[in-house]
């Protein structure tokens, strides 16, 4: 009939804090415009109405931590043209991946009196460990402007403009004095992917790596500097790399090197 069909957007949640999908509702100035361009077909946090798949773009938040979710994610792949993982949990296992370094059975008994009621996997893993992922947005939480850029790019059929360089570049662009050089503050900026706008150094604190490793990060060099010139202990280095992207390959290896 010649009626333009709007692309369908779906939003899925796995183990997570809801913060990354909230970023979409936090686009107060852009939300109604986005809703004009795409059909928000399946977004339970915002709507009761669910339109059946397949979907053009599925945003996936959270990590895989239960046997049920390990199956559910396969269904998401089957009914989606593009699967985009949003945030540190979906791209690297998130803070939940701290369990990967310990015995999860001990964790269950610490939190729950009746462990037999609880179903959980020993690990918290990234979505890409289970299915093919077309694009990922980093961050704990993601940057909402990167989310708008990504949706716009996919709608126009172009590659999203998401830089892979380090947080250091953003500090320079912002004119922030280096907190490590000037104050000896522990900062993961040199090895962390840009995207947040280098907020932490602008507030006089070091980056804690919530966007995960940049392309080709030299974590060993940063650790050596922090140890020799910054006086940081191995325990402090382990904790620094073992944060919200603890199971991202480069950060995992670096934390293990100091254990």
Partner 1 sequence: MSERTIKVDYLARVEGEGALYLKIKDNKVEDVKLKIFEPPRFFEAFLRGRDFWEAPDITARICGICPIAYELGASYAMEDACGVTVGGQLRELRRLIYCGEWIESHILHMAMLHAPDFLGYQDAIQMAKDHPGVVRDALRLKKIGNDIMVLLGGREIHPINLCVGGFYKVPKKRDVRALMPDLEWGREATIALIKLIKTFPMPDFKQDYEFVAMRHPKEYAIIEGRLVSNKGIDIPIRDYDKTLVESQVPHSTSLHTHVVGRDTCHVGPLARYSLNFDQLTPLCQQTAREAGLGPACFNPFQSILVRGIEVLYAFEESIRIVQQYEEPDAPRVEVKPRAATGYGCTEAPRGICYHRYTIDEGGIIRDVKIVSPTAVNQPTIERDLRRFVEPNVGMTDEKLQWHCEQAIRNYDPCISCSCHFLKLTVERS
Is 157 strand, coil or helix?
Answer: coil
Q: Which residues in 92-106 are b (16+ Cβ under 10 Å) and which e?
A: bbbbbbbbbeeebee
State which residue, 78 or 204, has the beta carbon closest to partner 1: 204
The count of other CB atoms within 10 Å of the CB of residue 16 is 24
User: What minimum distance in Å lies between the beta carbon of 172 and partner 1?
Assistant: 19
| CA distance readout (Å), 63 to 85, 121, 126, 259 | 10, 11, 5, 25
User: What minimum distance in Å lies between the beta carbon of 152 and partner 1?
Assistant: 18
Please list the residues that pair with 230 across neighbouring strands: none
User: What minimum distance in Å lies between the beta carbon of 195 and partner 1?
Assistant: 12
Structure tokens that stand for 215 in this block: 């392309």
| Residues engaged in binding partner 1 (CB under 8 A) | 13-20, 22-23, 25-26, 28-29, 31-32, 35, 40, 44-50, 65-66, 68-69, 94-96, 98-99, 102, 104, 106-108, 110-114, 117-118, 120, 140-141, 196, 199-200, 202-205, 208, 210, 239, 243-244
Q: Which helix (H) or strand (E) holds 13?
A: strand 8-13
Please list the residues that pair with 192 across neighbouring strands: 213
State which residue, 117 or 157, has the beta carbon closest to partner 1: 117
Which residues, in sequence order, are CB contacts of 84 under 8 Å at separation 6+? Answer: 57, 58, 59, 60, 133, 134, 135, 136, 137, 150, 154
State which residue, 18 or 215, has the beta carbon closest to partner 1: 18
User: What minimum distance in Å lies between the beta carbon of 27 and partner 1?
Assistant: 9
State which residue, 34 or 128, has the beta carbon closest to partner 1: 34
User: Rounded to 5 degrees, what are φ and ψ at 188?
Assistant: -90, 10
User: What minimum distance in Å lies between the beta carbon of 202 and partner 1?
Assistant: 8
User: What minimum distance in Å lies between the beta carbon of 158 and partner 1?
Assistant: 26
State which residue, 13 or 138, has the beta carbon closest to partner 1: 13
State which residue, 1 or 117, has the beta carbon closest to partner 1: 117
Structure tokens that stand for 239 in this block: 């904790």
């Amino acid at each position: 009939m010649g009626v333009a069909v709007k692309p369908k957007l779906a939003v899925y949640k796995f183990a997570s804090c809801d913060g990354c999908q909230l970023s979409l509702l936090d686009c107060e100035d852009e939300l109604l415009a986005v809703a004009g361009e795409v059909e928000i077909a399946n977004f339970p946090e915002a709507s009761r109405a669910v339109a059946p798949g397949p979907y053009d773009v599925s945003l996936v938040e959270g990590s895989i931590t239960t046997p049920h979710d390990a199956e559910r994610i396969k269904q998401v792949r089957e009914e989606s043209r593009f699967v985009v993982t949003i945030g540190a949990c979906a791209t690297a296992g998130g803070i939940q991946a701290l369990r990967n370094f310990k015995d999860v059975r001990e964790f269950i008994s610490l939190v729950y009196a009746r462990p037999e009621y609880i179903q959980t996997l020993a690990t918290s893993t990234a979505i890409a460990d289970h299915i093919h992922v077309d694009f990922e947005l980093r961050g704990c939480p993601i940057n909402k402007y990167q989310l708008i850029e990504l949706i716009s790019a996919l709608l126009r059929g172009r590659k999203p403009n998401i830089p892979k360089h380090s947080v250091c570049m953003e500090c320079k662009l912002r004119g922030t004095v280096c907190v490590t050089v000037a104050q000896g503050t522990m900062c993961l900026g040199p090895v962390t992917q840009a995207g947040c706008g280098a907020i932490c150094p602008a507030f006089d604190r070091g980056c804690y790596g919530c966007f995960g490793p940049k392309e080709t990060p030299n974590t060993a060099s940063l650790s050596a500097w922090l140890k020799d010139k910054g006086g940081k202990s191995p325990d402090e280095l382990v904790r620094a790399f073992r944060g919200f992207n603890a199971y991202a390959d480069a950060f995992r290896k670096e934390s293990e090197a100091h254990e």
